[in-house]
Chains A and B, each alone.
Chain A
Amino acid sequence: MIKVDQLQKSYDGIAYALKGVSFEVAKGEVIGFLGPNGAGKSTTMKILTGFLLPTAGRAEIAGFDVQEQSLEVRRRIGYLPELNPLYMEMRVDDYLRFAGQIRGVAASGLKASVDRVVELCKLEKVTGKNILELSKGYKQRVGLAQAMVHRPDLLILDEPTSGLDPNQVVEVRELIKDLGREHTVMLSTHILQEVEASCSRIMIINLGELVADGTVAELVGELPAGDIRARIQGPEAGVIAQVRELVGENCVVEVVEREGDYLGYRVVPDSVADGLEEGLAQLVVKNGWGLNAIWRERRSLEDFFRHRTYKAQQEAGHA
């Protein structure tokens, strides 16, 4: 559905917002496009929608080149830009009819098309209202409705949940999940739970380069092992020394909490090592110490995201 090859974009000819991004997206995927602010998410999406021209590289949608066959591409996409711009003075139904017409929905099918998205986006109550009068959540749904009124092959949604309250966020996420059954969806966000909730695949972009591409499980699996936490009753110096011996000389062992006789330790292994919890428990038993809890901290997409983007940003002086 999408084929992007060495895409570059510079707004001023000096600094590059995109430095050669390549990826492919198959039909039916729901892609979460992640990255810190200013990483190049919106730029990539604007090029895919035909709004921006790339400085170099190629992008194809449904087999059509975004530069050479821009109109063909634009017929096949639905786009919700960042900040969801709308014609505030128009009525919801007028606006959706306009969106359908200008995207080439035939007059005979226009009513059915508009009715379909009104139902899908639950806009029945507000069709006769001016867009200006709507709440932010409804406005967002109008933005989604205009993007899919012509049943596009590909939906491109730039931060579809930004600025919504938690309930509205959940609603819009549910809606996007539903859309994924019928359309290929590419959505950008910097909210990590969002992609975990609604995307089948994740791409992370940072400083204009693609730094990760895979499912949530795949990406999190690439992370170094999570930290081990344990609450142990025993001599502090002895525990630290023996744990070091067990886990490896280069590991970090530190006390992070003190609760009565029990000290909470954090063990950061320097390599991926399975079965450390068991080893630790045996160590405690062998020494006759007390143990009231041991667990491995969950590795999350958040860790992965920071792992991949934060260091590079600091080096580049962004953070």
Chain B
Amino acid sequence: MRYALVFHAPELTPDGPQPSEEGIQEMMRLMDDYAAALNSAGVFVAWEMLAPHSETKTVTRRTGEVVIEDGPFAAAKEALAGVVVIDVPDVEAALAWAEKFPGTSYGTIEVRPAATSFVDGTWTRPGDGPTRSGDCPSHPDGSS
């Protein structure tokens, strides 16, 4: 079943503390290790790290016409910084991965199950069966 690891972190501001070049390199290396681990475990679906909210456009047609604006309306202290989608049997496995996300040293990971996913041209729900081949979510004692 698919889980989104939704990552929130403080955004860099020009007058705020800047990470060192060394620190950035180290974090990129850790993120790279993490991506490789997701890949080799066969649970990887997608990973997007996002540009700062200043580069965001908001689109709505709530009022009946298309309104495009710059940025989200309220800048929070922690902003949405990235989304990793993984396909694992249950929330315990998702948590095991979330714990290892390198960004948790400076931000927060939200572990959110997918309610329904558009996979291979069709909508699937968690109850429809495994979304990845070779999945084996059952447990000897029936617990999870």
A and B interact: no
Interface of B toward A, CB cutoff 8 Å: none
Interface of A toward B, CB cutoff 8 Å: none
